[in-house]
């Protein structure tokens, strides 16, 4: 399953700086647009993994955990 997120990329001197408005805290940078996008992709993955882990830490005993697929 893949998800799509918005990448906002701006040039700052010799660097490209990017962020994702849908995922607060996800930022990337690189010397090229593609390097910036890859850095941003990695940041999005890390942020979402941490949010998922954090959300699962406090599950009440007996809570049902299941998967919901969104296309």
Q: Which of 29, 50, 49, 71 is nearest to 8 (CA)?
A: 29
pLDDT > 80? residue 1? no
> Could you read off the pLDDT of 9-61 as tens digits, one per residue?
999 999 999 999 999 999 999 999 999 999 999 999 999 999 999 989 989 99
Instruction: Provide the pLDDT for residue 58.
Output: 83
Half-sphere exposure for 55 (CA within 13 Å, toward CB): 8
Q: How far apart are the first and last CA of the chain?
A: 8
pTM: 0.85
The reported pLDDT for the residue numbered 9 is 98
């Amino acid at each position: 399953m893949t998800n799509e997120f918005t990448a906002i990329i701006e040039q700052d001197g010799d660097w490209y700086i990017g962020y994702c408005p849908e995922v607060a805290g996800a930022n990337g940078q690189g010397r090229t647009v593609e390097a910036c996008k890859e850095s941003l992709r990695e940041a999005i993955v890390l942020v979402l993994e941490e949010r998922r882990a954090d959300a699962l830490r406090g599950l009440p005993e007996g809570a049902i955990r299941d998967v919901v697929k969104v296309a």
